Structure 1
Amino acid sequence: MATQSRLGSILSHFNPAKSGVAAITQQNPDDIVITLAVRTPLTKGKRGGFKDTDLDFIIYSLLKEVNKRSNLDPNLVEDICLGNVSNGKAAYIVRAAMLAAGYPNTAGASSVNRFCSSGLKAVQDIANQITEGSIDIGIAIGAESMSEGGDRLEKPFHEEILKTQEAADCMQPMIQTSENVGNDFNISRKTQDEYAVESFRRAEVAQKAGAFDDEIVAITTKIKDKDGNWQEVTLTKDEGPRYGTTFEALSKIRPAMPQFGNKTSGGNASQVTDGAAAILLMKRSKAIELGQPILAKFVGATVAGVPPRIMGIGPSVAIPKLLSKFNITKDDVDLFEINEAFASMAVYCLNTLGLDHSKVNVRGGAM
């Protein structure tokens, strides 16, 4: 992205009147483009369709479909990066899965972890490698099996680290950080439930309209029923949407962890989830050469930190930072996708950024 930024700066001297939008929507041979985007169904952790399926099989199944749908010689893929939080052996897993899925041992494999944005980090990693000329074609994946494990620390940090309060705050459970946001910024339970109802409504409308069908890869796996018997199932749809969700129903749900507050519930927070997504990236010139369809252009990415105790408000800082790098405003953007781990944080980001809710998470979100 640094190379793109420098190039954009140079071009602006020759054509200073050109807007940021015009610059980033130009089609250039060196553009990084996405030629395929697929995912598995997103199922409920510990009780959904993937509850008895290991992460390696989920990734393997997805990569097999990437190989099939891309109509691309797998020997042309030079690196695959997996974004994953919960598994310390993620690099081993993606390496084995890619080989079993038909990709060559000449391609590399790696894993990255940036918590909720681990998949985005994988995209950034592959895109940067292509920009720098390290590789020509790569695959970025985001995958989790929260049925297999979470991201909680097994033991406290060293006592010297805990002497720094912000460092100690890194140990707070995510629900506690959600309650911190609700309490610090006066985001009521009512407001959070209202946001959640709309998220469920949008997801229901989108799912019923088949909006996700083309991107979802059907996965056949096995699940153990309540009697301990194994059954083969084919998963085709997300399990998160709750049809007919009402404000009255959500308002009756008890707080998830009342020791931290009374605003965050199972109704206005995202489910724990099992699933995976993958995209295929290359330069525009390479896509044209290989006859690959161009779905989108990767323009750039950035990172920004916030206090750990209110970690979920990150988009409110990262989005303006990214927009400024490309000389565009929020009004230039047609659609936003913002993390919906908790309604408290989504509401804060919408309010702080001054975004039109009709342009944000239009097909529902993680809730």
Structure 2
Amino acid sequence: MKQLQDAYIVAATRTPIGRSHRGYLRNTRPDELLATIVRAALAQVPRLDPAAIEDVVCGCAIPEGPQGLNVARIGAMLAGLPASVGGITVNRFCASGLSAVQMAADRIRVGEADVMVAAGVESMSMVPMMGNSPSLSPSIFARDGDVGIAYGMGLTAERVARQWKVDRAAQDAFALESHRRAIAAQQAGEFADEITPVEVTDRTASLEAGESVASTRTVRLDEGPRADTSIEGLAKLRTVFAARGSVTAGNSSQTSDGAGALILASDAAVKRFDLAPLARFVSFASKGVPPAIMGIGPIEAIPAALRSAGLRQDAIDWIELNEAFAAQSLAVIRTLGLDAARVNPMGGAIALGHPLGATGAIRAATVVHALRRHKLRHGMVTMCVGMGQGAAGIFERV
């Protein structure tokens, strides 16, 4: 049996994350945003011949409209990659970007490719949650176990909060800490290694001139973290999914826009192009869970990824757990006994935002650079997934 070869991350970057609908990326097309971040990743490895890239794998949770028609291939072309470079768009909802990394790594590990691009992109400003014309099969309502597929994710968070006994006070405290950590990390310059500044265009109407006026600016930081967040302010927010519930906009992830990209290479490509590996891709796991409590997905996926890697849980130094909701994040942390100090040290999606299919690639860039900056060995990216899944990927600093 042929032995698997290692897949190394040799470049990793992401855009700042913008708030959807009113944020600074709201007018930036996702295909253009993807092209921008792919070019930025390539700029980190100037010795690499782009013609050596086998394929671009891009995650996108709602691949339609301006991020449809195989946005991976479109983004590759807009980025100026050679026509020989292919492109495939993959969808595992919130884990799409992480699955893109896994698929790219696996092509290298089995010897089918030497250089791959893995990415994720999502514009929740331009493409609404569930898409423009969602259509669910009536068959899913035939059995109780399938009805959960049709639940809004907020309702699944309410179910997790009740079943795992995560009260409102704990959720709000978790949300406050997410903002506190994110603000502290921004002020300390912790995100500088992973973020590529993006130039955006704003348009305002001039009544006097009778025309719109365009202006450009460069954005460098995630837009979501709020220094004025307080426990009192969070406590005043109304629940949005259940009248007697506990999940609010303040203790849920922010809808967002953003993109991330990583370049992966084999050992042969590392030597051929004189590349400096940032990390090694170690393992990946995805697991299904009941759709009605989809938020617990990482409870199943994390142990599976650890088994595949041959690692104990306490060997993971840095964990990026996507904060879809405070309720499910706390359920995962408590059930698995995760070290809270190692989970989202720079804040999570409640503060930073969650651009769906892009999040896995974005948080992979976070882990890769955090491991190097803090001289840690192993990091993990994990998240729950709509319709009842969990995913986890493990990386090792080299």
How many angstroms does 1:87 deviate by?
A: 2.0
Aligned to 2:216: 232
> Which deviates more from structure 2 when the two are superposed, residues 323-332 or residues 55-64?
323-332
CA distance in 2, matches of 1:145, 1:3: 41
Quote the residue 1:24 is aligned against. Answer: none
Which residue of the partner structure matches residue 120 of structure 2? 142
Corresponding residue of 2:75 = 97
RMSD of aligned alpha carbons:
1.9
How far apart are residue 336 of structure 1 and its match?
A: 1.2
What is the CA–CA distance in structure 2 between the aligned matches of 1:34 and 1:225, rounded to whole Å? 41
Question: Which deviates more, 170-179 or 155-164?
Answer: 155-164
Partner of 1:209: 188
Task: Tell whether 2:100 aligns with 1:125.
Answer: no
The answer on whether the counterparts of 1:81 and 1:139 sit within 8 Å (CA) in structure 2 is yes
Higher strand share: 2
The residue identity in structure 2 corresponding to 1:213 is A
Matched to 1:76, the amino acid is A
CA distance in 2, matches of 1:164, 1:151: 25
Matches within 5 A, 1:125-204: 125-152=103-130, 154-204=133-183
Report the Cα offset of residue 160 of structure 1: 3.0
Spell out, residue by residue over 1:90-133, the C-alpha distance to the aligned partner (whole angstroms, 9 max, x if none): 45322122122121111110000001100001001111111122
Corresponding residue for residue 106 of structure 1 = 84
Contact 2:114–2:268 (CA<8 Å) still a contact in 1?
A: no
Aligned length: 341
Q: TM-score with structure 2 length normalisation?
A: 0.81
CA distance in 2, matches of 1:200, 1:106: 43
TM-score, normalised via structure 1 length: 0.88
Shift of 1:230: 3.4
Gaps of at least 5 residues in structure 1 are: 8-29
Residue number in structure 1 paired with 2:25: 50
Task: Say whether 1:301 aligns with 2:284.
Answer: yes
User: Which of residues 4, 9, 12 is equivalent to 1:37?
Assistant: 12
Q: Which contiguous aligned blocks of 4+ residues in structure 1 show a shift greater than 6 angstroms?
A: none
The answer on whether the counterparts of 2:8 and 2:281 sit within 8 Å (CA) in structure 1 is yes
- 1:25-70 CA-partner distances (Å, limit 9, x unpaired): xxxxx32110000000000011100111111111111122122222
- Which range is displaced more, 152-161 or 351-360? 152-161
Contact 2:252 2:324 survives alignment (8 Å)? yes
Supply the distance in 2 between the matched residues of 1:93 and 1:159 (Cα, whole angstroms). 29
Q: Which whole-Å CA distance do the structure 2 matches of 1:307 and 1:162 have between them? A: 14
Moved more, 160-169 or 348-357: 160-169
CA distance in 2, matches of 1:296, 1:353: 25
> Which residues in structure 2 correspond to 1:244-255 (within 5 Å)?
244-255=228-239
Tell me the CA shift for residue 189 of structure 1: 0.5
Any idea what SS the aligned residue of 2:43 has?
A: helix
Which structure is larger by alpha-carbon Rg, 1 or 2?
1
Q: What does the per-residue CA deviation read over 1:208-233, in whole Å, with 9 as the maximum and x for residues that have no partner?
A: 11111121111112123487643322
**How big is the shift at 1:134?**
1.5
Q: Distance in 2 between matches of 1:276 and 1:156?
A: 27
> Which of 62, 66, 74 is the matching residue for 2:50?
74
State the identity %.
Answer: 36
CA distance in 2, matches of 1:310, 1:282: 37
| SS of structure 2 residue aligned to 1:152 | coil
Distance 1:189 1:286 in 2: 51
Structure 2, gaps ≥5 residues long: 207-211, 351-398
Is the 8 Å Cα contact of residues 3 and 131 (structure 1) preserved in structure 2?
Answer: no
CA change 1:270–1:224 in 2 (3 A) is: farther
1:254 counterpart letter in structure 2: R
Q: Deviations over 1:222-280 (max 9, x none)?
A: 12348764332221110011114221121111112334x42111111111010000100
2:312 paired residue number: 329
Tell whether the 8 Å contact from 1:83 to 1:142 is kept in structure 2 after alignment. Answer: yes
Alpha-carbon separation, structure 1, partners of 2:103 and 2:195 = 24
